[in-house]
Structure formats: structure tokens, C-alpha cells
Amino acid sequence: MAQTAFRVGFVLFPDLTQLDLTGPYEVMTRMPGAAVDLIWKSTGPVRSEKGLTIEATTTFDTCGHLDMLCVPGGPGVGPLMEDEETLAFLRRAAASVRYLTSVCTGALVLGAAGLLTGKRATTHWMSHDLLSQFGAIPVTERVVVDGAVITGGGVTAGIDFALRIVAEVAGEAVAREVQLAIEYDPLPPFDSGSPRVADETLVARMRERSSARQRSRADIARRAAARLAETR
């Protein structure tokens, strides 16, 4: 009897950060038996934050059952937190997936859908304080596992959580093969990849540069959290 594929779906949306998606996508597509789709409201090209166009392969209505669902982050999460069609899809899919996951600010979309209530979770460090509005328990870790919910921190953390899933589904030996195949052996030239270790002046400058976007995101999160509360 043929083995059933492990079906993975990544939500694709305008203005996402492409590495949030393509990092774990690269890992999951290398797992034996995985069938990976990119899901949006319609099939066809979707423009990412920096202009890279990615093709949606299936839709909310046609994707079928998923074993793993992942929501990436990026500037486009603002509109997504208030997009009822997307939120309804996430709720439907979450009812039967084995793994409900996010990368970076994709966690805020899971939160807006009511899927992080009482769950330990993480997100990009600039938006970490918004998680609690959705009833989540913010945790300052690169990858946070709470039952079926797995959230990754900013951008590159998607590679880490995807390797953990491969290890759980296909075995550690397979996960190690995938890691070696993509030569995931990070040795950054600077020790500034987290606010815990970066220079305080650099962190402050980054916060100031992103202050307008973060204020807007916080306003959207408050509205989304208020609407969520009204439905309970």
C-alpha cells in the first residue's frame, strides 16, 4: 500500500517576508513523502515584501486536508489580522492539522484567528509584546512548542522549527540529512542577530526606524483582539 503523503500548506499573501516562507519551505520539500502547497485566496503570482513573486498553487477552498499549516510574517500581516476570509480558513484548517505553525509575525495572524489562546508562543522581537492581546503567553525563545502549536521567532527561525518537525515526522537522521543538504551551519559575521546580544544603540535605532509600522500594527492588533473578544 502506498504511503500517504505528509501534506504541508504555507499561507501565501501579499507583502509577506519571503524568507519566512522559503526557509521552512526549503526544509519541508526535502522531507521524503512531503507534499507542499502554497495557499492563497486564488492561484497565481503573489508579490512579497521586497518584490519577489511567488506562485500560489492552491486556494483556501481547494487545498484539502493538511498535516501541517504554516503562516509566515511580514508587513502584510496587518491586513491579514482583519481579513475574515483568511481567519476563517485558519480556524477550519487548525481543527484537523497535526502541526499549526507560524514564523515571525505570522503568529499575530494565528492570534487574531483565536488560535493562540492559552498557548506559549513567540514572534519577531519587535512585535513580541502584542501576543498577549490574543491570550497567548509570550516566550522569548527562538522556537516555542506548545502541543500542536509551534511558533518561530523572526524570519530565519523558520528553518529551525521546520528541521524539528522533520525530525519528529521522519526521524532525526533524515532531519540531519536535510540540514547537511542545505548546509545550514550559520556562522554570522556579527553577534547582533537578537536584541539580547545586539548593541543597545543598534536596537534603539531599529525600533525608531520601525516605529510608524509598529504603531500601525499595534492598532490593528488591538482591533483584531477586540473583535475576537466579542465572538467569545
Residues pairing with 144 in the sheet: 151
d(CA 191, CA 198): 7
Q: Name the maximum alpha-carbon separation found in the chain.
A: 60
Q: Where are the beta strands (DSSP E) in the chain?
A: 6-11, 34-40, 44-47, 53-56, 58-59, 68-71, 99-103, 120-121, 137-138, 143-146, 149-152
> Would you name the residues annotated as active-site residues?
104
Q: How far is CA 103 from CA 110, 124, 149, 157, 200, in A?
A: 10, 8, 12, 7, 25
Sign of CA dihedral 189, 70, 40, 174: positive
Q: How far is CA 134 from CA 112, 118, 119, 140, in A?
A: 6, 9, 10, 17
Q: How many CB atoms lie within 10 A of CB 188?
A: 8
